[in-house]
Amino acid sequence: MAYDTDNIFARILRGEIPCHRVYEDADTLAFLDIMPKADGHTLVIPKAAATDLYGAPPEALAATIRTTQRIAAAVRKAFDAPGIMIAQLNGAAAGQSVFHMHFHVIPRYAGEDFRMHVGPKADNTVLAAHAARIRAALE
């Protein structure tokens, strides 16, 4: 599949669509998922154009996993999560719905149901507060 330069993540990177940013460096961007599976659900994307893991340049993949590790530690701290789930989907059959490679960082708690990635978007005020918590944990 060819990379679509108009996918929502590419548009976020160009500043055409707002997001709740929690971290950015020269190679990556981390922001909150607007339909979170758990409070603090964060997405980490490379700035390089890559549809999936297979098409990602190795240096972009390395930068993205470094940022994912850093964000996972911050999410764990910010949400006092005993577990963190990292998910990376490749292809529609695997559940990928945005075709720009990305990692999901999702806090997990014993006995808590896993919310599906469907339904209404999260409240912007709640997302802004969650983003602030993660940014504070990065410091």
Q: What is the CATH number of the domain that holds 76?
A: 3.30.428.10
Residue 3 lies in a domain: no
Beta strands in the chain (DSSP E): 21-24, 28-32, 42-46, 83-87, 103-108
State CA 8 to chain mean position distance. Answer: 13
**Global pTM?**
0.90
- Residues with catalytic annotation? 102
Please give the tally of structural domains in the chain.
1
Domain span at residue 83 reads 8-111+119-138
For residue range 11-69, list pLDDT tens digits in order: 999 999 999 999 999 999 999 999 999 999 999 999 999 999 999 999 999 999 999 99
Q: From residue 78, how far is each of 41, 52, 53, 102, 124 by CA, in Å?
A: 11, 29, 28, 21, 18
